[in-house]
Structure 1
Amino acid sequence: MQQRQLGSTGPMVSAIGLGAMSFGGIFGPTTEADSHACLDAMLEAGITLIDTANIYGMGVSETVIGNWLARRKPQVTLATKASIVSGPPRCIDNSAAYLRAELEASLRRLGRDHVELFYIHRRDPGTPLAEVIGTMQDLEREGKIGGYGLSEIAPATLRAAHALHPCRAVQNEYSLWTRQPELGLIQACKALGVTFVAFSPLARGMLGDRPLRLDEVQDGFRSSNPRFTEPNFSANIAAIDGFRAFAAQRGWSTPALALAWLLQRWDHLIPIPGTRSAAHLRHWAQADAIRLDAADLAEIDRLLPPGFAAGDRYGDHQLMAIERYC
C-alpha cells in the first residue's frame, strides 16, 4: 500500500484508510466477530489508518476497535471525533468540557492514552472558533492527541482555524457523485499542507460491483436521504451502470476504480471507505495500484460528469451544522 502523510507534520499512513461507522450498526446489523475479521483483512492489505467517532453506535465502533487492538496489538493510526450530541434534542457541542469528556471516554473504549487525530465532528457557530482551537492546542500539549481535524466545514473556517493553530486534516464527503469540495476546500487544504480525508468515497454503497436494491437502503440514514429515495434512486442506479460496466471491461472492481480516481486526482487526499465486511474490503483494497491514463479519465468524466447525481447529498433534516459555501 502506498503511503501519504497525515498533515504536514503528522505520521505517514496508508493512502487508503478504513471508515468504521458501520461497525456501530448504522448501515445494518453486524457482529464484533465480523468487524474484527474486517480489521484483520485491513491489516493484511496494508491499511494503517482507522477512522471512527464517539457517536458511531454510541461508542460501539470504538469499543469493537479497542477490543481488536487489545488482541492484535497492531501498529495503526487512529482518528476519532466528537461534537454531535445525539439528544434528544440532537445538537452540537464544541465546549472544552464536552470535548474533553468525550475524548477521555473514547480513549477508554479504544484502550489508548492518545489518538493521532481528533476531529471536531461539526462546528458549533455559537462557540468562538478561537476557543475551540485553543481546546485542541491544550489537548495536543497534554499528549492526548497528535493533532486536530475539522469535519464538514467551509474553506473560510479552515483558513481561520489554521491561522490560530495548524490543522492536521479536514474530513468532508467527496466522491464521484459528491464533488462540492472541488470548489475550494480541497485546494485550500493543499495550499495549507492539510490532508483532505474523503468520507463516503463509494457513495454509501452505490459505487459497488452490484447495483443496490431499494429494499437494501431502508436503514435509518439512507431511507430518508434524497439520493436513495425515488425517483432519484432509480436514476442514480441507471447513471452508475455505465461506470460499472467500464470498470469490469478494464478488469477492475467498481469500488477500486472509484477510489483510484480520487487518489490520482489529489496527492494530499486519503479516502476512507467504510465497510463491516472483509470481503467488501478486499474488493477495493488494491485501488492504489490502479493507474488511469488520460483516456480512462476522459471516459469516467463522460460517464459520470460533475453534478450527475439526482438529489441532494443530504436532506434538510440531515444538515445540522454542515457548512455550505457555494
Structure 2
Amino acid sequence: MSFSNFYGEVSREEVFAILDAARDQGVSHIDTASVYGMGGSERHIGAYLAENPQARSFFHIASKGGITDRKDPNRLFNNEAAYLTEQLDNSLERLGVECIDLYYIHRRDPSVPIEEVTETLAGFIKLGKIGGFGYSEISPTSLRAAHAVHPVAALQSEYSLSTRTPELGILQTCADLGTTFVAFSPVGRSLLTDAPHGREAVQSMPFLANNPRFMEPNLSMNIKAAAGFRALAAQMGLTAAGLAIAWCLAKGDHILPIPGTRNLDHFKALVAGANYGLSAEELAAVEAALPMGWINGDRYSEAQWAGPERYA
C-alpha cells in the first residue's frame, strides 16, 4: 500500500530503492493489490521486475482483487467469477508476470457463497495463473467453509499490539488448518513507531483523518499511552516499529507481518526487529507496556468497517 498514494505521493525511485534493499536483506515477500493507487502499486512493481528480470525468481508476489471501483455505492465488492478473472488478468498485466504466487480475495462479497468463490480461485491455480490463494478479513467460520473446498494458503487481517482481535479465533483457526496468518498494519499505522503521525500529518491522509484512533482526543491519548513502549524499545536497542515486528513474530510460527514503508531507514529498522527474536521475559515486558485493550478508539469508522467480517 505504501507503493501507492494512500499515505502520500510516492516516486518510482523510492519504490525501486526499497525493492533493492529488500533483495539485499533477504526480504522476499511483496504484498500489493489492484486497488492500491488504482493499479499504481502493481505498475511500480511491474516496472521494477521489467528492469530487474532476475528479481522475479527471488520475490514471492501477493496481490488482491474483489473490490470494485466504487462507482456503484450498492456494489463495493464483487466476487463473481467473471469479475475476479478480469481483475486477476489486469493484475498479471500490470505486474508483467505469468503467475501471481499468492492471490487474495480482498474483501468478501456476501452475495456469492464463499464455497463458490473458492472454486473460482482453485480454477485459477489449475490454469497456472496463481500459485495459491487466500482471503482477507474473513471470520474463522468462513475460513473453515472455504478450506473444506480447497486448502487456503493464507488469511490476511490487521494484527498488532493495538489490534488483537485475531487472538479471539482466527489465529487459532489458521494454526489448526495450516493457513499462514498475514498481519497487516503491524506497526499500528504509525502508533507503534517512534514518530507517530501527529494531527497535521493525519489531516493530509483521508483514511486516517476519519479513523477513530487518529481523531482527537484519541490520537493524543494513544501517543501518550505508547510512551512506555517506545522507551522499552530504546532500552532493547530497537526502534518501536522494530519491537512491534519482533512481538508479532513471537506470537506464532504461522504469523507473517507485512509492514509497509517507502523509507530506507524505516525499512532497515523493521528488518532489525524481524531478526531480533524476543525472549519470554522480553515478550512479557512488551505486553506489560501495552496490555490488551490499551488503545483508544475502534480500528475502523462505521464507513471503514464495510467489508471485514466481524466475528467477536
TM range (shorter): over 0.9
In 2, Cα distance between equivalents of 1:89 and 1:307: 37
Q: 1:250 aligned to 2:233? A: no
In 2, Cα distance between equivalents of 1:113 and 1:136: 16
Bigger Cα displacement from structure 2, 286-295 vs 215-224: 286-295
* Partner residue in 1 for 2:184: 199
- The number of aligned residues is 306
**Aligned residue runs from structure 1 range 35-74, under 5 A:** 35-73=15-53, 74=55
Deviations 1:30-85 (A, max 9, x none): 11111111111111111000000000000000000000011122121100000111
Q: 1:226 aligned to 2:206? A: no
**Aligned residue runs from structure 1 range 152-301, under 5 A:** 152-218=137-203, 219-301=205-287
Q: 1:28 aligned to 2:8? A: yes
Q: Which runs of 5+ in 1 are unaligned?
A: 1-20
Poorly superposed stretches of 4+, deviation over 3 Å: none
Aligned residue type for 2:5: G
Shift of 1:289: 2.2
Q: Secondary structure at the match of 2:227?
A: helix
In 2, Cα distance between equivalents of 1:289 and 1:30: 27
Q: Secondary structure at the match of 2:92?
A: helix
In 1, Cα distance between equivalents of 2:201 and 2:61: 30
Bigger Cα displacement from structure 2, 204-213 vs 219-228: 204-213
RMSD between superposed Cα atoms in Å: 1.0
In 2, Cα distance between equivalents of 1:190 and 1:162: 13
Aligned residue type for 2:14: D
* Partner residue in 1 for 2:78: 93
Shift of 1:89: 2.9
Q: Secondary structure at the match of 2:2?
A: helix
Shift of 1:302: 1.4
2:190–2:197 Cα contact (<8 Å) kept: yes
In 2, Cα distance between equivalents of 1:78 and 1:108: 14
In 2, Cα distance between equivalents of 1:211 and 1:316: 23
* Partner residue in 1 for 2:61: 78
1:39–1:278 Cα contact (<8 Å) kept: no
Q: Secondary structure at the match of 2:303?
A: helix
Among residues 79, 86, 90, which one is paired with 1:105 in the alignment? 90
For normalisation by structure 1, the TM-score amounts to: 0.92
Q: Secondary structure at the match of 2:100?
A: coil
Aligned residue type for 2:161: L
In 1, Cα distance between equivalents of 2:293 and 2:71: 35
1:113–1:144 Cα contact (<8 Å) kept: yes
For normalisation by structure 2, the TM-score amounts to: 0.96
Q: 1:322 aligned to 2:308? A: yes
Shift of 1:265: 1.4
Aligned residue type for 2:65: A
Aligned residue type for 1:60: G
1:275–1:281 Cα contact (<8 Å) kept: yes
Shift of 1:300: 1.2
Aligned residue type for 1:130: E
Shift of 1:286: 2.2
In 2, Cα distance between equivalents of 1:246 and 1:107: 43
Shift of 1:98: 0.6
2:66–2:84 Cα contact (<8 Å) kept: yes
2:246–2:276 Cα contact (<8 Å) kept: yes
2:238–2:272 Cα contact (<8 Å) kept: no
Structure with bigger RCO (C-alpha 8 Å, 6+ apart): 1
In 1, Cα distance between equivalents of 2:280 and 2:103: 37
In 2, Cα distance between equivalents of 1:193 and 1:43: 27
Deviations 1:197-239 (A, max 9, x none): 0000011112112233111112011010000000100110001
1:45–1:286 Cα contact (<8 Å) kept: no
